Amino acid sequence: MYIAFVGIDGVGKTTIINRIQDSGMDAVFTREPYYNIPKTYNDPVEASYEFAKDRYRHMKDVIIPAKEAGKHIISDRCYLCNLAYQSHDGLIDLQWLMGLQPLNLVFPDAVIWMQSDPNIAAKRSGEDAWRLSEIQHIYAEVINSRDLPRVNWYLVTVDEKSPDEVYVEVALLISELMRDNGR
């Protein structure tokens, strides 16, 4: 079972994933980007190719071997984040970005979309709230895109919950998904 977390910056994806990993859950923990990619590019097309190259290597080096070994995978971000952020930040066409994905792309079996009020997430991350709001809307477009394979989406809202409550909700969801996957 390949489970990916998505959501805007500051929503708490990495924090929750680290807690799940620290709990001893039996899974391969990974993230995108996998290799070091510079945070900023002057050319959004160049950045798109760098992310696609990183994703190809990530699939080849981590995701595909783990799936072939029958291991569970938990990823902090996946290609869906790349689609949302780059189609906003680089003003690149979403369809073009989808076509750029590597041929060895493995789609997650389940995607946990952690959602937050962009103003709250902006305070946590130091990012611009308007930008995060726009990216959150693009996530909704990506989720409803007819051009992508259907994946199982699970929405976790975080604003009115303590970090412990979010952790328990997500840990139970992951345990259920893994159990239903036959392991």
Q: What is the pTM of this model?
A: 0.92
Q: How far is 99 from 93, CA to CA, in rounded Å? A: 10
Q: Which band of pLDDT confidence, cut at 50, 70 and 90, is reported for residue 183?
A: low
Residue 113 pairs in a beta bridge with 6, 155
- Starting at the edge strand found earlier in the chain, the sheet holding 2-6 runs 28-31, 73-76, 2-6, 110-115, 152-157
Q: How far is 13 from 88, CA to CA, in rounded Å? A: 20
Q: Quick one: pLDDT at residue 44?
A: 82
Contact 112, 6 (CB under 8 A): yes
The fourth-level CATH superfamily of domain 2-180 is P-loop containing nucleotide triphosphate hydrolases (3.40.50.300)
- The ranges assigned to domains in the chain are 2-180
The pair of structure tokens assigned to 92 is: 């690149």
Residue-wise pLDDT tens digits, 113-169:
999 999 999 999 999 999 999 999 988 888 877 777 778 899 999 998 999 999 999
Q: Quick one: pLDDT at residue 66?
A: 97
Q: Which band of pLDDT confidence, cut at 50, 70 and 90, is reported for residue 100?
A: confident
Average pLDDT, stretch 29-51?
A: 86
Q: Which of 10, 17, 124 is nearest to 73 (CA)?
A: 17
Q: Which of 38, 42, 41 is nearest to 54 (CA)?
A: 38
Contact 62, 72 (CB under 8 A): no
